[in-house]
Chain A
Amino acid sequence: MGSGTRQAGIDVLGTPNATDSRRPDPVVTVSSLTKRYGSVAAVENLTFSLEAGTVTGFLGPNGAGKTTTLRVLLGLAEPTAGDALVFGRRYHELDGPGKRVGAVLESNDFHPGRSGRDHLRILALASGIGRRRVDEVLDFVDLAKAAGRRVGTYSLGMRQRLGLAGALLGDPDLLVLDEPANGLDPTGVHWLRNFVRGFASQGRTVLLSSHVLAEVAQTVDRVLIINGGHLVADAGLDELAAGGVSLEDHYLKLMALEAAS
């Protein structure tokens, strides 16, 4: 993860599914989504959609409902009301979801006693993906040399890269990344940014949750900002730039207004 060829591009990615790239429907459709835990609404009446070929930043303070939304979208949690669809279906209804959607939700979802390669091989076997692809993605994230080591010996940055390798195994059309830059060194962050942009330039889609606004501003086309489970902003980065407002200023102003209301 740092070699010139890899920084420059997305050599591990295959050809995007032509049918999907022509698909008129949004890649992700979240409609009036509500998720309650007892009497607490983690997400309430949230609606947005993502178009193919875009990178969308999903922003908000801690506890805003970002992770809950991503979990409902990926079938890990059931919505209380509303819908969260991927390629027009609920996640669990997708045929071979591992080949359509790649996701990294936590930086530590590994068994510490298992090697990085075995972790990926397990995901590959369950998704019907060949062993060669495991080596490809390991090489892509620059973990080939450490692949035989137990994950418990990995740094946070290496775990992030292993998570990304797992998400890329199926050569997906949609990537969902929760704090992907967390733990990466500056070279790794730069690589990730170029990778994400390159991924979207192929007509694929990225939904990226992050707290690092400066990084988000350099990576995404559009931001969705939520607070208290509600969508409080949905704006293109170009719209903000045209208004002479930085993403950080826009975000802080919104949060101040939310706090005052």
Chain B
Amino acid sequence: MIGQLRAELLKQHSTRTNLGLLGGMVGLVAVVILLHALNLPADKLGRGAAQLMVMGQGQRLGTLFAALLGAMAITVEFRHGTIRPTFLVTPRRGRGVAAKIGVSMLIGIAFGLIATAVAIGVESVALRARGIELQLVGGDYAQLLFGSAAGAMLWAAIGVGLGAVARNQVPIMVGICTWLLFVEGLLFGDIGLSDYGRLLPGALAQAASGLDPQKQLLAPGLSLLLLALYAVAAGVAGWSAVSRRDVA
């Protein structure tokens, strides 16, 4: 299993894919935070809850990109045919999927931390430039960073599981983006299914980071536990799909 993990780690850093994802994420986080921090009214941004929600855009994008990197970890193998040599040297396919999940979770932690750290840094500089005092305390930052890392880690595992089921790169990438950026927002916010919406995996990742100004979400610990169950379910589904299906 150690060999599979080392092989997977080398797979993920021997191409420019993850570097491109990281660059895209950092750039997007910086732009989104700047747009919010420079354009929202100063009286609104003077409140701690608003400052935290703007920083939360980093958590949101970190989660999204971690999920994408997880999905790409396996769909790229089907796309380029490297899944054949992969399964020839690791015919017990569950091990290969487990290694992908393990390594993707590790990189997911880094993505979650970096996205949130960039969000904190950019917002702090922008608010100071506007003369707005930061209202957040150490505990807020710690919760935000820890929750973002943990949420991104679990979403990376979900991405691998979903990618293993779907195999095809484009639909799964579009699906993850659509779900996290639009569908949950619609269900939870616009349609108002808050009782059920807070059980959705994107909302759980948000809750884990303490991004709950209206106190609608579940407690961070419980959210992480439920999100971990989603990750386990996606991992099992991916393992099952990869183990059962033929490789063309």
Contact = CB atoms under 8 A, between A and B. Distances in A.
Nearest to B6: A125
Interface string B62-95: 0000000000000010001110111111111000
A57 to B, nearest CB: 21
Interface string A106-138: 101111111100110111011110000000000
Contact of B88 (A74, A114, A115): A74
B151 to A, nearest CB: 29
A114 B14 contact: yes
A75 interface: yes
A106 B84 CA distance: 9
Interface string A75-94: 11110000000000001101
Nearest to B4: A126
B17 interface: yes
B10 interface: yes
Contacts of A94: 91
B14 A112 contact: no
B3 A127 contact: yes
Interface residues of B, number: 25
Nearest to A74: B88
B223 to A, nearest CB: 35
Given A111-B80, A114-B14, A78 B246 contact: yes
B177 interface: no
Interface stretch (A23-31, A97-105, A226-234): A97-105
A166 interface: yes
B81 A128 contact: no
Contact of B81 (A71, A109, A122): A109
Nearest to B9: A125
A71 B88 CA distance: 10
Contacts of A76: 84, 87-88, 246-247
A123 B89 contact: yes
Nearest to B17: A113
Contacts of B10: 118, 121-122, 125
A128 B14 CA distance: 19
A91 B89 CA distance: 10
Contacts of A114: 11, 14-15
A65 to B, nearest CB: 14
Nearest to A163: B85
Contacts of B86: 126
A74 B89 CA distance: 10
Interface in B1-57: 3-4, 6-7, 10-11, 14-17
Contacts of A103: 88
A10 to B, nearest CB: 21
A166 B80 contact: no
A92 B94 CA distance: 12
Interface of B: 3-4, 6-7, 10-11, 14-17, 76, 80-82, 84-92, 246-247
14 contacts: A76-B87, A105-B84, A108-B81, A111-B15, A111-B76, A111-B80, A113-B17, A114-B14, A122-B11, A123-B7, A123-B85, A123-B89, A125-B4, A126-B86
Closest 3 CB pairs of A and B: A92-B91, A77-B246, A125-B7
Given A77-B247, A111-B14, 11 more contacts: A76-B247, A98-B89, A109-B85, A110-B80, A110-B82, A111-B76, A114-B14, A123-B85, A126-B3, A126-B7, A126-B86
